[in-house]
Amino acid sequence: MTVGDVDRERAMPAPTDTPERVEPSPGDTPERMAMFTDAIFAIAMTLLVIEIKRPEGDALKSSASLWRFLTHEWESFFAFLLAFALLWTVWRRHHVLMDQVDRLNRAFTAWHAPLLLFVALLPFPTALLGHAIDNPLALCVFAAAEAALLFSEAAVKEVAHRSPSVLSSDAEVAEVRRGASSSWAVAGFFAVTAALPWVIPAIPFAWLLAPAAATYGGRLIERFRTGGGPAAG
């Protein structure tokens, strides 16, 4: 072996068992989708507060009058807190999902359109709820809008765990699937309650049980996914 052969061997890259990572093509990178989604959520969550009526005139003359105004507007505060909490949890779950996404595909991208549409729409049914909490149709519109948002979220997760090219190599596919099951469950919960305001006027308070519906309903769906066995996790 000559000196030149030794130099060439040193210059050659060392062999590796790790497959070379294929970079996403233009338009398939998840970073822009994550940033755009964050922006829509931030705007929608901010717009929720606009529909809360501000005290004016006589309502500001004394502590007693201000207290009467605030207690009279409790429906608006309730609607704001409920919608904010729901949007926060959906955003947080989406944040966790996007941290495991390596590239986009057509279906994953397409399902973000209805997801973000209903996120942007939610301030409107929230205003209806806050100003007419005793109106069954207002309650129905809010529950239907929330159900549509959650169904879209579930579809995004469903595409992610069924598409090997979407998730990164170190992503927990089973965990993404369980997240989809929870989203399907809570979406179904809101869809069912959308038909109940005419017989149960206090249905908005049942929406506070949404986390329980996601947890226990998700476990039930997981049982069906795994052929009736115990839910994963």
Asked if residue 110 belongs to a domain, the reply is yes
Q: Is residue 163 part of a domain?
A: yes
Spatial distance between the Cα atoms of 182 and 84, rounded to a whole number of angstroms: 19
Q: Which residue has the tokens 């279906």?
A: 107
- The answer to whether the beta carbons of residues 210 and 189 sit under 8 Å apart is yes
pLDDT, one tens digit for every residue, the chain (233 residues): 555 554 555 555 554 444 445 565 665 689 999 999 999 999 999 999 998 888 888 888 889 898 998 888 999 999 999 999 999 999 999 999 999 999 999 999 999 999 999 999 999 999 999 999 999 999 999 999 999 999 999 999 999 999 888 999 888 999 999 999 999 999 999 999 999 999 999 999 999 999 999 999 999 999 998 876 544 44
Number of domains in the chain: 1
For residue 199, tell me if it sits in a domain.
yes
Tell me whether residue 184 is in a domain: yes
Tokens 């590239």 -> residue: 103
Give me the residues paired with residue 167 across strands.
101
* C-beta of residue 86 within 8 angstroms of C-beta of residue 210: yes
pLDDT the model gives residue 225: 87
Of 183, 37, 17, nearest in space to 104 by CA: 37
Q: The domain containing residue 172 runs over which residues?
A: 76-233
Q: What does residue 178 show for φ and ψ, rounded to 5 degrees?
A: -65, -35
Angle at CA of residue 203, ends 231 and 136, nearest 5°: 135
Whether 87 is covered by a domain: the verdict is yes
| Residue 41 domain flag | no
Task: Name residue 18's amino acid.
Answer: T
Nearest one of 114, 124, 180 to 148, comparing CA atoms: 114
pTM score of the predicted model: 0.84
Residue 39 CA to residue 186 CA, distance in Å, equals 24
In whole angstroms, what is the distance from residue 30 CA to residue 94 CA? 12
In a domain, 183, yes or no: yes
pLDDT confidence of residue 5: 54
Main-chain dihedrals φ then ψ at residue 230, nearest 5 degrees: -60, 145
The contacts of residue 2 (CB under 8 Å, 6+ apart) are none
Taking the chain, what is the end-to-end CA distance rounded to the nearest angstrom? 58
Question: Do the domain assignments include residue 170?
Answer: yes
